[in-house]
Amino acid sequence: MLEKLNGLLMQAGIVITDTQKSQLVRLVELLHKWNKAYNLTSVREPDAMLVKHILDSLVVSPHLHGERFIDVGTGPGLPGLPLAIINPDKQFVLLDSLGKRINFIRQVMLELGLTNVTPVKARVEEYQPETGFDGVLSRAFASLEDMLSWCHHLPTKQGCFLALKGQYPEQELAQLPANICLVACHVLQVPELEGERHLLVFKHIQPE
């Protein structure tokens, strides 16, 4: 699996340490093992997990600006765990409402020795952090409208929302709230992944 990961990283132009590579491989092994009992993801094969979960998460890394991030509806820790592994200098809160997913994340943290991850079991609209986040990440949210309305209280004034999408969501963008603007759209290249990937960056429009 390490050989496969090395090939994918090379194609994506991502340079990380050997320790980080080992941690990513171990993350896939744990996900594969837990998935049999807890059904955490519909992706069953470790090689497919490397592409659809690990690389699909890592390509977001160059677009993380700041130190504090929250991954909303993280599921089994995606994209939060892979991003935390390769960004040890940044802090990640991983939020999900399902206990089995949070338990999995705790187990991964324990086995990989991750100290920059805080798992939180809560519904996003009920979660009230003491301080805001530089970036609010979401990978599997139903719609942009839901994400932006349920997560409106999470970023700092300068913070942004980072939404991972497949195809460019023109219809959803037409229904953006009036106080939100799209500041960037990045086309992501994920090696061996079929279909398009886009990262949309939003910010609150600050009153003058």
Q: Which residues are annotated as a binding site for S-adenosyl-L-methionine?
A: 73, 78, 124-125, 139
DSSP 67: S
**Three-state DSSP class for 57?**
helix
Token look-up 């991750």 returns 114
198-204, strands of its sheet edge to edge: 117-121, 91-96, 68-72, 133-138, 155-165, 198-204, 180-187
* Token couple for 93: 């809160």
Q: What sign results for the dihedral spanned by CA atoms 70, 146, 189, 41?
A: positive
Instruction: Please enumerate, by residue number, every residue annotated as part of a binding site.
Output: 73, 78, 124-125, 139
Alpha helices, H only, the chain:
2-12, 18-38, 46-49, 56-58, 80-86, 99-112, 144-150, 170-173
Cα-based torsion angle of the residue sequence 96, 190, 165, 17 in order, rounded to the nearest 10 degrees:
40
Contact 68, 133 (CB under 8 A): yes
